[in-house]
Structure 1
C-alpha cells in the first residue's frame, strides 16, 4: 500500500457541448504532499477537481484514489477523502456546533461520538468561543474554518481544498495556511486549487498548471521558477547621457534582451555569476548606477510565461 499513489489521474477528459473543458489530463499525487492545481479562471481546475471527487462524470479517462477506481469502487474511494469548496456548505441559521453535529451524524457517527468529534474540531479550528452563535454572525474566515472542519469530520487521509482562501483578508489567509501545514504534519495529503500564486508557492510540494483544459506544465515551485528565465537584474543609470552606452555594454555581456524604461535598464540573467563581469565593465566605463537589484523569478513569472496571450 505504501507504493500506491494518493491519486492517479489518467487521460481525464470532459466536454460541455462542443467545448472541451478538460483535455486529456494525466498526473499523480504522492501520499503526504501538497499538490497545487493552478490556472486562469475558466482553465478547467474546478472541473478537474469535480471529476476526481466524483461530483462530475468524466467523458473519458480514469481516476484512482489510493488505488481504488472512482467509478468501479466509488463508495470506497469517496470514503477516503474530504472536500472543501469555495463557499461553506452549511446552514447559516444554526450554530457551528449544530452544523458539525448534523454533518457528523450524516457521516454515520453515533450521537456521543458526534458530540466528541464536534468538540475536538471546534477546539482545533479556534471556534469554541463562537460555537453556539448563528453562522450568519460569522466572519468570512470563521466560515471557511468551519467548512474545513466539516470536511475533516471523518479524519480523511486525502483532503481537496477548492480555493480555500478566496476572499479572505491577509491575516486570516495566513491562519488558514498554518492550518493546512498542520494537517500535512499529521499525515494528510492535500490537493489545492488556488488563484493566489503566493499561496501555491508557500504551500505546494508539486504544481500542475492548467490552461484551456490542458496540462501545460508540472514540477516543484522551485523547478518552475528556474525555468522562468533566471534572475532579473535591474538598475538605474545615474546620468541620462550614459544610458545608451550602458545598454550597449549590458547587451554585450548577456544573451537576453535588454529592456529600457527611462534611465532604468533590466535584463534576465541565466545565472547570478554573470553579475560580477557586468559590474566590472560598468566600472571600467565609468558608468555610475543606482538602485541595483537582483530579483529571483516568481510563480507570477511562470504563470505569465505559460498562459500569457492565451486568454
Structure 2
C-alpha cells in the first residue's frame, strides 16, 4: 500500500552538506502498523514530508496505493491521512463545519461526508462536540477531532506524527483505540513517535532510523534476534553507541 524506495534527501548548510535521509527503503502493507522510529534529527519528519509530496527527494521515490508522489502529488495526498500533535483547528468553525469543509476539499460527496462525519464522531466519542466551536475545545478534544479529520476522506494510508504528545492517560488510550480501528479496517499506518514503550504496544513492525539510515527493520522478535536487546530503548542506546 505504501512503498519508499531509496528515498534520499540532502540539505546544503553554510559550510557543508547534510544527508538527512540516506537511501531509505521500506514498505507498509494494508492492515499493518509500521513504527518509523528514531531520535531527533534521524530523518523521520523529512521522510514523511517526501511521502506527502512536500519535499522532492534527490533520489528514490515514494509510492502510495500504486501512485508515485512525483507523478501525481495531488492524487497521493488524496490517498493519505495525516495526523500530527501540532495540527491546529479552525477556531471559528464548529467541529461539524470544519470536518465537512475538509471533506469538501477532498471532493467527498456531501451526503457521504455527512454520514461519514456522524459515523466517525460516534466512533471517536465526539458527538456532543459537533456543534461546538473548535476554538473552545480542550487539548484532548482537539486531538479527537483531528483524528476524525484525518479519516474524513477515507484514505488507504495514514501517517501519524507524534500522535500522543501532550496527551493524558485517557487521551493516549484514545490513540491506541484509534490505531486498532485503523488496523481492523485495513489501513496502512505509519507511526512516528519518541515514546518507545508505546511503539512496542502499537506497532507490528519497526524501522529504526539513525542519522538518516535505516539501521534495523523488522518485527519485535526479529529486532531482538538481530540486536540482542529486549526492548526498543535498549536497542537505540546500543545503536547510538555503535555509530557515535
Output the TM-score relative to the length of structure 2.
0.91
Residue deviations 1:195-240 (CA, integer Å, cap 9, x gap): 111121111111101111111111112221344436xxxxxxxxxx
Within the candidate set 7, 14, 20, 2:2 is matched to 7
Higher helix share: 2
* Within-5 A mapping of 1:10-89: 10-17=5-12, 18-89=17-88
Q: Displacement, 1:155?
A: 0.9
Q: Is the CA contact (8 Å cut-off) linking 1:197 and 1:300 kept in structure 2?
A: yes
Number of residue pairs matched by the alignment: 240
Unaligned runs of 5+ in 1: 1-5, 231-296
* Within-5 A mapping of 1:121-136: 121-136=120-135
> Which of structures 1 and 2 has the larger relative contact order (alpha carbons within 8 angstroms, sep 6+)?
2
Local SS of the residue matching 1:300: helix
Q: Is the CA contact (8 Å cut-off) linking 2:65 and 2:156 kept in structure 1?
A: no
Unaligned runs of 5+ in 2: none
Q: Displacement, 1:46?
A: 0.8
Q: Is the CA contact (8 Å cut-off) linking 1:9 and 1:64 kept in structure 2?
A: yes
In the alignment, what sits opposite 1:165?
164
* Within-5 A mapping of 1:1-311: 6-17=1-12, 18-229=17-228, 297-308=230-241
**Distance across 1 between alignment mates of 2:225 and 2:5:** 27
Q: Is the CA contact (8 Å cut-off) linking 1:12 and 1:24 kept in structure 2?
A: yes
Residue deviations 1:143-168 (CA, integer Å, cap 9, x gap): 11211211111111111111111111
Q: Displacement, 1:90?
A: 2.2
Q: Displacement, 1:170?
A: 2.2
**Distance across 2 between alignment mates of 1:228 and 1:60:** 29
Range with bigger deviation, 106-115 or 12-21: 106-115
**Distance across 2 between alignment mates of 1:150 and 1:93:** 16
Output the TM-score relative to the length of structure 1.
0.72
Which protein shows a greater Rg?
Answer: 1
Local SS of the residue matching 1:43: coil
Q: What value does the CA root-mean-square deviation take over the aligned residues? A: 1.8
Query: Would you identify which runs of 4 or more consecutive aligned residues in structure 1 move more than 6 Å?
Result: none
Q: Is the CA contact (8 Å cut-off) linking 2:31 and 2:185 kept in structure 1?
A: no
